[in-house]
Structure 1
Amino acid sequence: MKHQQILDKLAARGLVRAMDEELARWVKHQMLYPGRSRAEIERGVIPPVLLRWRCLLDAEDIGAATKNVTRVALATLLHKYGFQDPGTTAGALAAVDELNRQVVLSDAFERQSPEIKKLLESAPVPLTRRPRTRRTLSFLQAGDVISFELSGRFHAAYVRAMHGADEFPVIEFCAGTFTRPPTWAQLSGRAAAAEHARARFGVVGLAYRPDPAHQVLPVDAQQPHPPHGGDPLPGRGLWAMTDIMSLQEDVRNLFPDARPTVRQNS
C-alpha cells in the first residue's frame, strides 16, 4: 500500500491537493535550517499543521464524513513526509472504521482498510531531501475581507494587493479579536491592528477560496477602504513575508492579549 493509493481512495481531490501542497512547502521550509536535528524539524512541522487543520475538525457546519476523510488524509500525508503524531494517527484509525461503518467511501477502501491502518501505524521513513513544491497562485483579490481563526478566536484582515501574477495576497489585519467570524459592519472604519506596517503580511499559501482547512473565511469583497492608521514608517518596509503556517505565530504575536477558546464539539 502506497500513500497515494490511500489518498486517491478518499475521493477528496481538492482537499488532499491543498493539504499536500501546504505540507510539502512547510516541510521544505523547516528543512532549510542548517544543522537542525530530526526532533527539531518535527517540532517545527507538526504543531502548526495540526493547529491550522483543527479549524475544520472543530467547525460546526462541516459534516462528520468530511472530518473523518480529513483525519485520514492528514495522518497519511504526515506519514508520507516522514512524520507521525500519535493523536492524529489514532484519530485516523478510528476515522477509517467510521467511514466504513457509514459506507462513505468505496468497497475498495473497505477491503484495503487493514493495509491502510498498517501503513499509518508503521514508523515513517524520514525524508533525505527537501520535497518539491509547486508555484502558488491565489484566488483572493484586492479588496477582499477575510476572517482568520486561531485557537477559537477570530481576526479580520483586508487584502491590500496581490503580489506578482496573483502569487499571494498582501493582507493587513484589523484591530480587535472576535469570538466568531466578524461582519463587515463590525469592521468598517476600524483601525489597523498595529501601526507602522507590523499588521501587514505577504502570505504564501493563502490561496484557496473557500479555504479547505476552514481557517480562513470570507467576510466581504470589493471593499475600497482598508483599515486606517497602519502606514509604514520610512525604512521599515511595506510588509513582512510569511506562510499560511507561520502566519499563525505572526497573529499570536500581533494579538498577544487574545486568549484561546476551548471548543467542546471536536
Structure 2
Amino acid sequence: MKHQQVLDKLAARGHVQALDEELARWVNWRMSTPPPTHEELTRQVTGPVLTRWRCLLDCDDARPATKNVVWVALATVLHKYGFQDADVTARAIRAVDELNRDVVLSDAFERQSEDIKRFLSAAPSPLTRKPSVPRSLTFLRAGDVLSIEVSGRFHAAYVWKVTDLNEAPVIEFYEGTFSQPPTMAELAGRGAARPAAQARFRVTGLTYLPDPAHQVRAVAAAHADGPRGGEPVPGQGLYEVTDVMTLQRRMADLFGPVAV
C-alpha cells in the first residue's frame, strides 16, 4: 500500500491538499537546520501541526465524519514525510473504524481498512532529503479581517496587502485576545498589538479562506481601516517574514502563552 492510495480513498481533496502542502513546507524548513535526533525533529514537526489542526479536530461545529477523515489524513501525511505520533496514529485507527461504522466512505475503503491500519501502524521511513516546497499562494485579499485561533484563544488580524503574484498576505494583529471569534463592533477603533509594525507579518502558507484547518476565519472583507498605531517608522522594518506554523509561536510572543 502507498500513502496516495490511502489519501485518495478519503474523498477529502481540500483537506488532504492543505495538509500535504503545509507538511512539505514545514518539514523542508525544519530539515534545513537539523536537530540532534529524529525524535527531536518529529517533535518539532508534529507539535505546531497539531496545534493548528486541532482548531478543526476539537471544534464543536465540524461534522464527526470530517474530523475522522482528517485524523486519517493527518496520520497518513505525517507517515508519508517520515513521522509518526502514537496518539495521532491511535486516533486515526479508531477513525477508520468509525468511518466504516457510519458508512461514510466507499466499499473499497472498507475492504482495505485492515491494510490501512497496519500500514499506518508500521514505522515510517525517515526522509533522506528535504521535500520539495509548493509554490506560495494566497486567496486572501487586502481589507480582509481575520480571526486566528491558537489553543482556544482568538486573535484578530487585518490584511494590509498581498505580495506580488498573490504569494502571501501581510497581516497586522489588533491588540487584545478573545474567547470567541471577534466581531467588527469589538474591533472598531482598536489599536495594533504593538507599535512600529512590530505586529505585522508576511505569512507564507496562509493560503485558503475558508481555512481547511478551521484556524483562520473571515470576520469581514474589503474593510477600509486596519488597527491603529502600527505604522512603520524610520529604522524599523515593514514587517516580519514568517510562515503559518511559526506564526503560532510569534503570536505567543505578542500576546503571551495560552493557559492550559
Q: TM-score, normalised to structure 1's length?
A: 0.95
Q: Counterpart in 2 of 1:141?
A: 141
Q: By how many angstroms is 1:188 displaced? A: 1.4
Q: Distance in 2 between matches of 1:202 and 1:33?
A: 21
The amino acid of 1:259's aligned partner reads: V
Q: By how many angstroms is 1:232 displaced? A: 2.3
1:200-227 C-alpha deviation (Å, 9 max, x unpaired):
0000000101000000000001111110
Q: Counterpart in 2 of 1:259?
A: 258
Q: Counterpart in 1 of 2:151?
A: 151
The amino acid of 1:217's aligned partner reads: R
Q: By how many angstroms is 1:233 displaced? A: 2.8
CA change 1:35–1:75 in 2 (3 A) is closer
Conservation of the 8 A alpha-carbon contact between 2:7 and 2:76: yes
Aligned: 1:32 with 2:32: yes
Q: By how many angstroms is 1:122 displaced? A: 0.2
Q: Distance in 2 between matches of 1:181 and 1:126?
A: 39
- Aligned Cα root-mean-square deviation (Å): 1.1
Conservation of the 8 A alpha-carbon contact between 2:6 and 2:76: yes
Task: Give 3-state SS (helix, strand or coil) of 1:161's partner.
Answer: strand
Q: By how many angstroms is 1:36 displaced? A: 4.3
Q: Distance in 2 between matches of 1:90 and 1:68?
A: 12
Q: Which runs of 5+ in 1 are unaligned?
A: none
Q: Which runs of 5+ in 2 are unaligned?
A: none
Q: Distance in 1 between matches of 2:24 and 2:34?
A: 18
Q: By how many angstroms is 1:58 displaced? A: 1.3
Aligned: 1:224 with 2:224: yes
Q: Counterpart in 1 of 2:48?
A: 48
Q: Distance in 2 between matches of 1:36 and 1:169?
A: 33
How many pairs align?
A: 260
Conservation of the 8 A alpha-carbon contact between 2:28 and 2:131: yes
| Pairing 1:164-179 to 2, within 5 Å after superposition | 164-179=164-179
The amino acid of 2:188's aligned partner reads: S
Q: TM-score, normalised to structure 2's length?
A: 0.98
| Pairing 1:235-250 to 2, within 5 Å after superposition | 235-250=235-250
Task: Give 3-state SS (helix, strand or coil) of 1:139's partner.
Answer: coil
| Pairing 1:147-226 to 2, within 5 Å after superposition | 147-226=147-226
Q: What is the percent sequence identity of the aligned residues?
A: 61
Q: By how many angstroms is 1:34 displaced? A: 4.6
